[in-house]
Structure formats: C-alpha cells, structure tokens
Amino acid sequence: METQFYIVFNLRTPEGWESFAKFFIGNKRKDAVELFSMLKGMQEIQENFPLSIDFMETRDGLPVNLKMINCSLSQLGENTVIITKELFRLHVL
C-alpha cells in the first residue's frame, strides 16, 4: 500500500478534539513536508488553544501523526489559502 500524506484541521470541543477538514497532499514526502512547513502557527503546542493542524502520514493503511501546530482563526484562514495554492501548483500545473 502506498504512503499518503494529509493535513487535518481540528477544533477543540467540550467533548474533545474533532476533525473538521482533511486535505490530501499526495504521496511525495518532500512535497508534503515543504507544504506543512509553509503553514502559519505555533510549533510549541498549548493545551488551551482551540485550533490545531496535524500533519499525517498513512503507512500500510494506518495513520501516523508526524507534526502538529496550534493556530489562530486568522492563521487557519491563511493556511487554507496556502494549502489550496500549493495543491493547485502540485497537481494541476
């Protein structure tokens, strides 16, 4: 089974973390790592932050969390634009 990379947006709810968006980045580690490194946010995770972004890899069908950042709502919006532009560049151009 092929390795796949994803970026997942999460929201802290009273019941715990809930994923609300998932972007398939592709199968190339280099492209996925470069894209995630472009995202805005704090690498030092703070438990009280309501938004987080996970960088995920699927190996043999099992998800592995590679990195996580916290971000503000405005950074989340910026990150959505960054991801969309990069996915367009990687998969369409």
pLDDT, tens digit, for every residue of 17-66? 999 999 999 999 999 999 999 999 998 888 788 999 999 999 888 999 99
Is 0.85 surpassed by the pTM of this model?
yes
Per residue in 55-79, pLDDT (tens digit) is 999 988 899 999 999 999 999 999 9
DSSP track, the chain = ---EEEEEEEEEETTEEEEEEEEEEES-HHHHHHHHHHS-SBSS--TT-SEEEEEEEEETTEEEEEEEEE--HHHHHHHHHHHHHHHHHHHT-
